Amino acid sequence: MVFITKQEIKAEIKKAKDCRDISTQKELANSYYINVRRALAKNPYLNSSIANKLLLDPSINVSYRVSKNSNCTNKREFPIELLDHKCITCEVDELVLDCENCHQ
């Protein structure tokens, strides 16, 4: 695992938001950084097989987001108590997201 700078993470997030290249999407889907995968999960051009893979992501923030993507063809049920958590349903853009200083 290679750690990258905040600036590099933001560049990965920007790429993830609208990338159309499947090999790049595959690479981003395996990112160590949740916000990169979360941004990819919301990408309107996300390949459906990658979307379905992200539906099983260990981070509920990622899997919930991709479940809302129209390219995700599989379904997943989420326990209601998880959906009550503001972090899961947060609408803040990943480029400005600052979970440590969130006041919600």
Tokens at residue 90, please? 């947060």
> Are residues 55 and 38 in contact, defined by beta-carbon separation less than 8 angstroms?
no
Q: Which residues of the chain, if any, have pLDDT below 50? A: none
Ranges of each domain in the chain: 6-101
pLDDT of residue 1: 65
pLDDT of residue 69: 98
SS3 annotation, 39-72: HHHCCCCCCHHHHHHHCCCCCHHHHHHHHCCCCC
Tokens at residue 56, please? 């099983």
Look at residue 90 and give its three-state secondary structure.
Answer: coil
